[in-house]
Amino acid sequence: MKSYYIAALVVFFFNWCYIGKAAKDEALGASFIFGDSLVDAGNNNYLSTLSKANIQPNGIDFKASGGNPTGRYTNGRTIGDIIGEELGQPHYAVPFLAPNCTGKAILNGVNYASGGGGIMNSTGRIFVNRLGLDIQIDYFNDTRKQIDSLLGASKARDFVMKTSIFSVTIGANDFLNNYLLPVLSIGARISESPDAFVNDMIDHFRSQLTRLYQLDARKFVIGNVGPIGCIPYQKTINQLNEDECVELPNKLALQYNAKLKDLLTELNENLPGATFVLANVYDLVLDVITNYKNYGFTTSSKACCGNGGQFAGIIPCGPTSSMCSDRNSHVFWDPYHPSEAANLIIAKKLLDGDTKIISPMNLRQLRDH
């Protein structure tokens, strides 16, 4: 009889531990990540696309894969990875198109981001295939139904509304790989002024964010567009000096960012229970680029991995690229994307920064909100 009680106690203890762990994971909520190559964690691996990062030496410093490429467009972790870790997520959000994006794995979060993706459906056509934001939200709709079946409708709604964070990092490709492309978008450039194009982006984005709200998203962090005229690719093709940036892309980004700020104010007022946090990526990244020495970098204009021109800014990172000797000394990993060292600085400021960087609250505050 005594052994029966001990066995029952052991079973009870393990069940209690398991239930406790499951409840803890659910209490943490999930990280649902939407966007472009800045936060893509491998979705493009499963697409027939010209935009891929599952080739060496990408991922060389990504510990979870032993330094093998995963489809992240950087040498290590993305901003989304780092923020998830810091907010207590036990696992990285799994790419939606990956075979292991199923069952309870989705309760840690899902990543829908895609290299080349944008707000507008025409964005990134140059890459043949990519997931635009409309498709990414379609995919979240699928995930939302799966959460219902895993937790039951009532618990699922609480899980999504109260504890999950929705991050959206998008917009740069709408300029770099749409409006500013000389060949593919010449029709759009002639027929649409910059004002009209930016207004189209904002109108589209409004309906996309509202759709996520209708699917029970409540805690949002939205990144504005960074200083895209300062990336090594733009500096190289425009033959600029080290301390110069291309004016037009930055001007378009600022124009969009001003209207994005107004949009998020509007949504905060009009969508009950929602919190839209604006991440001022433009000023944050520009500060790192301008004052790179203060952050411990030796260059903010030359790509660590790439080829072509004085800033190694034309040919993307791949097996035949030249690579810098100290990856932590470069702000940019490749012609377009920050290094893990830069991602760490950006992520930490978004997690704990003041309202000049992230408003009306930072990401730790949003988690506990």
Q: Is 203 a catalytic residue?
A: no
Contact 317, 303 (CB under 8 A): yes
CA distance 309 to 232: 9
Active-site option among 40, 114, 334, 339: 334
Active-site option among 36, 51, 204, 337: 337
The full DSSP string for 72-84 is -SSSS--HHHHHH
Residue 100 Cα distances to 17, 18, 66, 232, 323, angstroms: 25, 21, 19, 35, 32
Active-site option among 31, 37, 300, 321: 37
Contact 95, 28 (CB under 8 A): no
- Listed residue (46, 43, 23, 48) closest to 33, CA to CA: 43
Angle value at C-alpha 85, between 102 and 166, nearest 5 degrees: 60
Q: Is 91 a catalytic residue?
A: no
Q: Residue length, the chain?
A: 369
Please state whether beta strands 358-359 and 275-279 pair in parallel, antiparallel, or not at all (unpaired). Answer: antiparallel
Looking at residue 333, the DSSP 8-state letter turns out to be: S
Q: Is 148 a catalytic residue?
A: no
Catalytic residues: 37, 334, 337
